[in-house]
Homo-oligomer: A and B are copies of this chain.
């Protein structure tokens, strides 16, 4: 196999896509090959860069694979205890109401140990963005069952597949949160195809705008993959995601603000 060697600039081509140089650091991401976390990080930081709000944005990282988000996002960030990112973000926002504040959390973090904080942050209508990465598994700790794990899905703590009897149902927390009057915007997106990434970016842009307009809590769920936890190649994982996750977690807006 021969590689094509070109110098695009010399060829007169113009750059139409490059990583956001100011808001993404140079640090190599520690995520597994093909993991969706990287895409979401990048898209978030593209937005911060394009909107020119690097100096106005404060992020809160969770405990989960994205615990090191602050190694990559070149903005002020806090690393919260497992499940408490939204409580941390609440305090940051209350003290700096003119800043854009977001939390970035996995499904274990946001929908298991952090359920109370998630729901009460949303119920207070805290004017923040919660970015919720739903990969139906605990990636960081080695592939255990998450609240969002599908029925029948094998994980290291549901080796025979998740059963209702032992572990109950996959939790659709976004739908629950959408019920709360303090919540302005709830949408479910993904990053498994180029178009999905385009839609995610749009959704995140909306969320930042709503925050500026003080509409209330915004939650952007990203149905994502975990090739390592799922024991699949990244390509397989993205296919599996579309086939198995989407029926239960269909992409699209769940709640949008009036007007």
Which positions in A face B, CB cutoff 8 Å?
A: 112-116, 119-120, 123-126, 147, 164, 167-169, 171-172, 175-176, 179-182
Contact = CB atoms under 8 A, between A and B. Distances in A.
A125 B163 CA distance: 12
Closest 5 CB pairs of A and B: A124-B168, A115-B116, A116-B116, A169-B181, A123-B168
Contacts of A119: 115, 119, 171, 176
A83 to B, nearest CB: 8
Contact of A167 (B124, B168, B181): B124
A175 B177 CA distance: 11
Main secondary structure of the interface of A (DSSP, over half): loop
A198 B182 CA distance: 35
Given A125-B169, A164-B182, 17 more contacts: A112-B120, A115-B116, A119-B119, A119-B171, A119-B176, A120-B168, A123-B169, A123-B171, A124-B168, A124-B169, A125-B164, A125-B168, A168-B182, A171-B180, A176-B176, A176-B179, A176-B180
A247 to B, nearest CB: 14
